[in-house]
Amino acid sequence: MSVALAQPENFYQAKRGLFSWIFSTDHKRIGLLYFYAIISFFLVAMALGFLMRLELIAPGETVMGAKTYNQVFTLHGVIMIFLFLIPSVPAFFGNFLLPLMIGTDDVAFPKLNLFSWWLYVLGGIFALLTLVVGDGPADTGWTFYAPYSVKTGTNVTLAVLAAFILGFSSILTGLNFIVTIHRLRAPKMGWFQMPLFAWALYATAWIQLLATPVIGITLLMIIAERVFGVGLFDPSLGGDPILYQHLFWIYSHPAVYIMVLPGMGLISEMIPTFAKRTIFGYKAIAYSSLAIAFIGYFVWGHHMFTSGMSGPARVIFSVLTFLVAVPSAIKVFNWVATLYKGAIDVKTPLLFSLAFIFQFLLGGLTGLVIGALATDIHLHDTYFVVGHFHYVMFGGAGFAFFGALHYWYGKIWGKMYNEKRAQIAFWLMFIGFNTLYFPMLVLGLMGMPRRYYDYLERFETLNVISTVGSWILITGILLMIINLIVSRKSGKVAPRNPWGGTTMEWQTPSPPPLHNFDATPVVPEGNPYDHKNNITEKA
């Protein structure tokens, strides 16, 4: 295994005290600040999801009424999207790993990085404030569709302001990564020697930078309409509600790729390590990240097929939507080809990666069903859509996040997690996840509409199955978190490179020293996933 060198002081030991964290400009500490905030918000939103499923265990009112249910699903969506999924991988793994992976000592703008974390916290506080002030949290859904969002008495202004501030945090993170990747790569590292996670972050950063301002201005327009009565979206004031949907989805569809692209980057790191093979189609995966980011700008109209948008526009958006499937499929085929004839080592991160491929595939294929104009007319606003996006967002991005948490656990916290407990947690999560969300696809096909606290009796059996699935899933998640917390104390000391990874972050001690490397890191020659470059084998 790894070399036993005299360990230099790691970044935890370098400075101590609360202020050394919350005012730190070290990318690793900022990454961890993000992590603790993100995982806290995730647990809050998970609890809200649990309550929603509990409400739906039987028809009629069980644990909450209609308005509360509307507020709960809005808050669940806002927190999961803006406070968990969007920042999760770039702001935590990106911050922590990007400088290590490209062999530099920090991101390009460390102070801006700290500022973006503070903006994130501020946005989070605003989102939580909606719970306690005025008429309670918004009941509009996370999309804040006008004209309802202009008229409802609930705390839409505050929730929208929270999303606006969180958008700035996201823009600054994206800007930081673009400059870091252009300017701070190790001197000998060419573009095609960058790890694929860095490529995924790069593609994502451009979406964050170019698409997020659109949602910023749109949300301000909502506030202008609510507070000053400017007629932008409300027809009674001379506005157009479909304009809101255009502006909203111009950002929010590319935002879907902000959520899943970095996750795909994580999968591209884990699969070659556990297949002990060079990744298949390195350039194809790198370019497909850029292609997804680019094509993602042309397809937003597929969220609006039943909104009253014109017929020709709907046809064009439907056709363009199918183009996104191409680069996504390229990635999936390359991952599977990497596994082919590999010396596969089935560890928890690989299990999460395989689950990602399976679930993302289901999410992607159901996406084609609702991307097709004719079928979407029937399935729009049913549970099919809820099932679809949970398969992509949680089954995809979420599982990639948790898999990566195990993969880099040793690098980040310096201890190894307990493999057996982790695998039990994984299987509980996998079974729970599919028990929870697969019935939703069937319920949608049967015609059960989304966003209601109540349903017809004929939908009951599948809803009970789905709710039981949520209990299994939550048990798995809690077991995983307990395992990770306990392993922090009782786990074995992590070597530099526990998995035989080939990228540069494995060259430094676990956890890394303050300035990232204890010796000048060696840029692997040629393909970054060539196992000839494996430092454990050299040692």
Partner 1 sequence: MADNTKSRHLPGDPKEHHIVPYKFHIGIWVGLIILTIMTVLVSVMGISLVAFSVITAMIIASTKAVVVANYFMHLKYENKLITWLMGVTIFLFIVFIAFTAFDYLTR
Binding range to partner 1, per CB under 8 A, among 41-49, 179-187, 194-202, 526-534: 179-187
214 scored as a contact of partner 1 (CB under 8 A):
yes
Convert residues 215-244 into a mask of x (bound to partner 1 by CB under 8 A) and - (unbound): ---------------------------xx-
246, 303, 331, 411: residue in contact with partner 1 (rule CB under 8 A): 246
Q: Do 523 and 504 touch, CB atoms closer than 8 A? A: yes
For partner 1, the closer CB: 330 or 504: 504
Angstrom distance (rounded) from CA 348 to CA 363: 22
Convert residues 264-303 into a mask of x (bound to partner 1 by CB under 8 A) and - (unbound): ------------------------------x--xx--x--
CB-based contacts of 401, cutoff 8 Å, min separation 6: 88, 89, 93, 263, 266
CB of 517 to partner 1, least distance (A): 4
Q: Do 454 and 61 touch, CB atoms closer than 8 A? A: yes
SS3 415: strand
Binding range to partner 1, per CB under 8 A, among 78-86, 177-185, 275-283, 479-487: 177-185
CB of 9 to partner 1, least distance (A): 11
Q: How many residues bind partner 1 (CB under 8 A)?
A: 34
Nearest 5°: CA angle at 162, between 106 and 364?
Answer: 75
Angstrom distance (rounded) from CA 450 to CA 232: 27
The CA–CA distances, whole Å, from 67 to 70, 82, 360, 450 equal 5, 22, 33, 14
Angstrom distance (rounded) from CA 361 to CA 448: 23
57, 121, 210, 479: residue in contact with partner 1 (rule CB under 8 A): 210
For partner 1, the closer CB: 103 or 147: 103
For partner 1, the closer CB: 300 or 430: 300
Of the candidates 82, 239, 250, which has an alpha carbon nearest to the alpha carbon of residue 150?
239
SS3 382: strand
Binding range to partner 1, per CB under 8 A, among 11-19, 37-45, 313-321, 412-420: 313-321
Under DSSP, the state recorded for 493 is: B
Binding range to partner 1, per CB under 8 A, among 185-193, 274-282, 432-440, 447-455: 185-193
CB of 510 to partner 1, least distance (A): 16
Angstrom distance (rounded) from CA 268 to CA 202: 14
Q: Do 154 and 137 touch, CB atoms closer than 8 A? A: yes
14, 39, 57, 186: residue in contact with partner 1 (rule CB under 8 A): 186
CB of 316 to partner 1, least distance (A): 8
Kindly identify the residues of this chain, within the stretch 77-106, that bind partner 1 according to CB under 8 A: 103-105
Of the candidates 252, 356, 355, 368, which has an alpha carbon nearest to the alpha carbon of residue 301?
252
518 scored as a contact of partner 1 (CB under 8 A):
yes
Q: Do 372 and 319 touch, CB atoms closer than 8 A? A: no
CB of 313 to partner 1, least distance (A): 4
Q: Please give the structure tokens belonging to residue 470.
A: 């949520």
Of the candidates 127, 146, 147, 150, which has an alpha carbon nearest to the alpha carbon of residue 71?
127
515 scored as a contact of partner 1 (CB under 8 A):
yes
For partner 1, the closer CB: 434 or 516: 516
Q: Do 180 and 108 touch, CB atoms closer than 8 A? A: yes
371, 432, 513, 524: residue in contact with partner 1 (rule CB under 8 A): 513
SS3 10: strand
520 scored as a contact of partner 1 (CB under 8 A):
yes
250, 323, 332, 369: residue in contact with partner 1 (rule CB under 8 A): 250
Angstrom distance (rounded) from CA 446 to CA 224: 40
> 234-262 burial string, b = 16+ CB within 10 Å, else e?
beeeebbbbebbbbbbbbbbbbbbbbbbb
For partner 1, the closer CB: 318 or 470: 318
313, 365, 377, 493: residue in contact with partner 1 (rule CB under 8 A): 313
CB of 518 to partner 1, least distance (A): 7
- Binding-site ranges for partner 1 (CB under 8 A): 103-105, 182-187, 210, 214, 242-243, 246, 250, 294, 297-298, 301, 308-313, 316-317, 513, 515-518, 520-521
